[in-house]
């Protein structure tokens, strides 16, 4: 049973537009959420995180929103750039564990 789900395996967005990546979780004990980005042949790199005491965290072009009642978080990238093409993983931690989603492959179209 997947505790962290990224239901879109892939997403294509026009350069300059907003990219929205979604993530759902099932365990109400999760209290810290992270997004990672992965290029081919490289390890994942940390992008942005949010604690459950907040509902929004912003860092430059990246904003993460958390809806605790819906157990849903999303990553917004605006404006999208060609270098944003990568696989994005969400992760949820708490209850003495961390669980990753399967990832969403983002393609930024010229």
Partner 1 sequence: ETGVTQTPRHLVMGMTNKKSLKCEQHLGHNAMYWYKQSAKKPLELMFVYSLEERVENNSVPSRFSPECPNSSHLFLHLHTLQPEDSALYLCASSQAPRGGSSYNSPLHFGNGTRLTVT
Q: Which is nearer to partner 1, 17 or 102 (CB)?
A: 102
Cβ 29 to partner 1, closest distance in Å? Answer: 11
Question: Quick one: which of 63, 75, 89, 108 contacts partner 1 (CB under 8 A)?
Answer: 89
Residue 46 interacts with partner 1 (CB under 8 A)?
Answer: yes
Greatest CA separation for the chain = 42
Question: Quick one: which of 53, 83, 96, 110 contacts partner 1 (CB under 8 A)?
Answer: 96
Contact 25, 3 (CB under 8 A): yes
Token pair recorded at residue 102:
């399967």
Contact 8, 22 (CB under 8 A): yes
What residue ranges bind partner 1 (CB under 8 A)? 2, 4, 31-32, 34, 36, 41-46, 49, 89, 91, 93-94, 96-103
């Amino acid at each position: 049973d997947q505790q962290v789900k990224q239901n879109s395996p892939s997403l294509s967005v026009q350069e300059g537009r907003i990219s929205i990546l979604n993530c759902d979780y099932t365990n109400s004990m999760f209290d810290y959420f992270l997004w990672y980005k992965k290029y081919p042949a490289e390890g994942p790199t940390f992008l942005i995180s949010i604690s459950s005491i907040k509902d929004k965290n912003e860092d430059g072009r990246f904003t993460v929103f958390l809806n605790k009642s819906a157990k849903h978080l999303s990553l917004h990238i605006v404006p999208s750039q060609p270098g944003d093409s990568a696989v994005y993983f969400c992760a949820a931690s708490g209850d003495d564990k961390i669980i990753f989603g399967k990832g969403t492959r983002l393609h930024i179209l010229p």
